[in-house]
Amino acid sequence: MRMQTLITESLLQPVTAGLFGSDLVSIRDLSPVAVESLFQLASLVKARPESFRTALAGKHVAMFFEKPSLRTRITFEAGIAALGGSVSFIDHRHERLDARETLGDIAHNLERWVNAIVLRTFAHETVEGMAEHARVPVINALSELEHPCQALADYFTLQEKFGNLKGIRLAYVGDGNNVMHSLLLTAALLGSTIRIATPEDYGPDCRVLADAQEIAKQTGGRIELMTDPGRAASDVDAVYTDAWTSMGHEEEAEERGKIFPPYQVNDQLMSRARPHAVFMHCLPASRNEEVTDSVIDSLRSIVFEQAENRMHVQKAILMMLVGAKSRQQLRSAHV
């Protein structure tokens, strides 16, 4: 019981002391301690969901989506409802968020009505601008530069599977997109190893890479860049890929379809990884393009565990940002 109390106190500190910061715009907003606390809280929420049914009671979240979504929308809406909160979903697929009025004006309206803002946008600057102006927490649910909620859920899933993340080697094979950027930063933050194999001219953003390398110097993380997918997958614990053409780049699909086939994750590539290695994908998958059916449907695939954990990690993010938990609620989760 004493150990449970200590765990409870460690979880409570970031919630009450603001360790997690005021927004989640980028993985760069976090510290290793904040991620550790987030994963502890997500694990507790996943194990004892009934103990957190009123965590966001009386709290309302606005969600603005410029892009289509299945997992992001449902995991946020279901997660908020499970915590006792409520949601307003605003579909902005027909126009960009700031098309009718400035982000500052939108933010100053929203901060008077809601307790948090979730954005799924094209331009990363849209998320940054909302966070700059709004006096309530802003969460990046995907931008062209990053997908922090996805990467955090992915590494939480790896922790569930393997335990200590410092010893984990993840290979990302494919396009240097927003998901890869957040995985890169998260691996660096956790002191883990990540290998990235992309075609020439499709690697990570130079600013994101520089930041990740600087973080890795402090944590002992290791970043390896290459163009050979077979080399990247050799002797790793997890192989990760994503669609070759991200939303907003559909006009490049034909050209990319000629460049990326060598980066397909198939049985041959997976055979280069360790026997216990898992396959990961943020979904949706273009089956038999970036990944074959034989891999994504295999026992090595944990894509649906990743999808489930989006909800648990996002619950923890909301709780840490909105700060809705009480000491008694956290303690009761261990009883």
Catalytic residue among 28, 73, 92, 120: 120
Of 68, 236, 265, 93, the C-alpha closest to 175 is: 265
206 part of the active site = no
213 part of the active site = no
Every domain of the chain and the residues it spans: 2-144+310-330, 150-298
- CA dist list (Å): 328 to 49, 133, 273, 319, 333: 15, 33, 45, 15, 9
Query: Could you give the strand order of the β-sheet that contains 86-91, starting from the edge strand earlier in sequence?
Result: 86-91, 60-65, 116-120, 138-140
Spatial neighbors of 183 by CB under 8 A, at least 6 apart, are: 151, 154, 155, 170, 172, 194, 240
314 part of the active site = no
Give the pLDDT of the chain (335 residues) as one tens digit per residue. Answer: 343 334 444 444 444 344 567 999 999 999 999 999 999 999 999 999 999 999 999 999 999 999 999 999 999 999 999 999 999 999 998 888 888 899 999 999 999 999 999 999 999 999 999 999 999 999 999 999 999 999 999 999 999 999 999 999 999 999 999 999 999 999 999 999 999 999 999 999 999 999 999 999 999 999 999 999 999 999 999 999 999 998 778 899 999 999 999 999 999 999 999 999 999 999 999 999 999 999 999 999 999 999 999 999 999 999 999 964 333 444 455 55
Q: What is the CATH number of domain 150-298?
A: 3.40.50.1370
Residue found under tokens 């053409």:
245
Catalytic residue among 23, 175, 237, 242: 242
The reply to whether 2-144+310-330 and 150-298 are identical in fold is yes
- CA dist list (Å): 205 to 40, 138, 196, 211, 294: 30, 23, 12, 10, 32
Catalytic residue among 147, 181, 195, 300: 147
Burial of 22 (0-12, 13-18, 19+ CB in 10 A): middle
Catalytic residue among 282, 300, 306, 312: 282
Distance between first and last Cα of the chain: 9
**Axis crossing angle, helix 71-82 with helix 303-322, rounded to the nearest 10:** 50
Catalytic residue among 28, 92, 310, 312: 310
Which superfamily does 2-144+310-330 belong to?
Answer: Aspartate/ornithine carbamoyltransferase (3.40.50.1370)
Of 250, 310, 299, the C-alpha closest to 276 is: 299
150 part of the active site = yes
Lookup: tokens for 287: 């089956």
Catalytic residue among 71, 124, 149, 150: 150
29 part of the active site = no
How far is residue 81's CA from residue 89's CA, in Å, rounded to a whole number?
13
268 part of the active site = no
HSE on the CB side for 333, CA within 13 Å? 27
